Amino acid sequence: MSYTNKELLNSIGLAYGELSLKGKNRGQFEKKLRNKIKKVLEGFEYTLFDDISKPYLFINSEDLDAVTEKIKKVFGIVGLNQAAKVEREDEQIKEKLLQFAEYAYEKGARNFKVVVNRSNKGFEKNSMEYAKELGAHILINSPFEKVKMKDADIIFNVDIRKNVYIYTDKIKTYGGLPLGSTGKGLVLLSGGIDSPVASFMMAKRGMRLNFVTFHSFPFTSKQALEKIKELTEILSIYTGKARLYSMNILKIQEIINEKTKKDLATILGRRAMMRLAERLANTMQYQALITGESLGQVASQTMGGLTCTNAVMEKLPVFRPLIGMDKTEIIDIAKDIDTYEKSIEPHEDSCALFAPKHPVTNPKLEDVLVEEEKIENYDEILDEIFNEKEYFNIG
């Protein structure tokens, strides 16, 4: 139950996160962040301005929550507050505070605290004195009878700048770095729970992302690809416009199935995927591959499994942001970013097609290399697959 009268609010104060650490690059980062804010707020009426180096959005009250939801998803912002902007004038501040107080009391708050923050040193009174004065004003003129310094029912924050902003709650957001500020990555996106979460994690660190998915049509259906497109669509809320590449790896899977030991099929398939992904990354100038692997989760994600898949990489790094996470932690993030429900919809998995009943749980690279040697024209097959790739622009 909120004690805050939303109708009084007309602004959102933004806290930029690690940007403050970025020294000379700060200007660039801020520009990226501003552009992103402009993009997500297309269609809303607002002004974005700095008030003594703190960015504020000024908006219509009725758009407040919708705008907040959009802003929450912009990486680089660590927190925000929904505030009432008034002029830096004692009467106005006091009057607005009383409106906050009366509503809060009516909704059941029985004690309060006033916190004053004074960035504008030109303001006559010091913060402590002024907080006391405002507290007294509320006690005298509203039904409140009690100030409580610790665990108050409601805190009235008064942020004094060129203008004055009154707010009650601080909202924590994702943090991270502005999109596009740290490089470009290519995500290997399957229909499962993990790779969408891995995408989110790297986008949060400022990477601009595109996606590649592997299928085995006609053994995997068109609907399976539709599902991946829909996942990319959800992810584009965080990544912005994105491109999804799709490659049919059936040819190589069939040959692996025919020529090599059954129990290594999954690893050999994963190696083919990594090779194709690195090739795509090189041609499109992506600087890293990203997967949803987590240590020990399945047979192909043991130390041995990861060693075998990683060994095909020629020069790009592979980022595995979920490597140290438990499934439950991954699921919590998937729910939070809204990919979970889509991920758990049933789909045929390209990997599952020729999946051995008993995959080797800790494959050795030597054994894998011996098996791979048995595949003739390996590179030509990859060329064919690569040349037949399709793509879809999403978001």
| Stretch 230-289 residues interacting with ligand ATP (CB under 6 A) | 273
- How many whole angstroms separate alpha carbon 80 and alpha carbon 378? 53
Between 192 and 321, CB nearer to Mg ion:
192
Q: What is the DSSP string of 334-367?
A: HHHTT-HHHHTS----TTTTT--SS--SS--HHH
Strand order of the β-sheet with 54-59 is 46-51, 54-59, 11-16, 77-86, 164-175, 154-160, 112-118
Between 128 and 303, CB nearer to ligand ATP:
303
Task: Examine residue 207 and tell whether it contacts ligand ATP (CB under 6 A).
Answer: no
What x/- string results for residues 151 through 190 when contact with Mg ion is judged by CB under 5 A? ---------------------------------------x
Between 57 and 351, CB nearer to ligand ATP:
351
Task: Examine residue 339 and tell whether it contacts ligand ATP (CB under 6 A).
Answer: no
Between 102 and 349, CB nearer to ligand ATP:
349
- How many whole angstroms separate alpha carbon 393 and alpha carbon 395? 7
Between 167 and 340, CB nearer to ligand ATP:
340
Q: Which residues contact 113 (CB under 8 A, 6 or more apart)?
A: 135, 147, 148, 149, 152, 154, 155, 156
Partner interacting with residue 188 (select from Mg ion, ligand ATP, none; CB below 5-8 Å by kind): ligand ATP
Q: How many residues bind Mg ion (CB under 5 A)?
A: 2
Q: Which residues contact 61 (CB under 8 A, 6 or more apart)?
A: 6, 7, 8, 9, 10
| Token digits of residue 77 | 């912002």
What x/- string results for residues 32 through 51 when contact with Mg ion is judged by CB under 5 A? --------------------
Among 4, 157, 181, 190, binds ligand ATP (CB under 6 A): 190
Between 236 and 297, CB nearer to ligand ATP:
297
Q: Which residues contact 118 (CB under 8 A, 6 or more apart)?
A: 126, 127, 130, 160
Strand order of the β-sheet with 242-248 is 318-319, 288-290, 183-188, 207-215, 242-248, 390-394
Candidates 13-21, 89-97, 251-259, 290-298; binding stretch for ligand ATP (CB under 6 A): 290-298
Q: Residue numbers of the site for ligand ATP (CB under 6 A)?
A: 188-190, 192-195, 213-214, 273, 291-293, 297-298, 300-301, 350-351
> Which residues would be at the binding site for Mg ion (CB under 5 A)?
190, 192
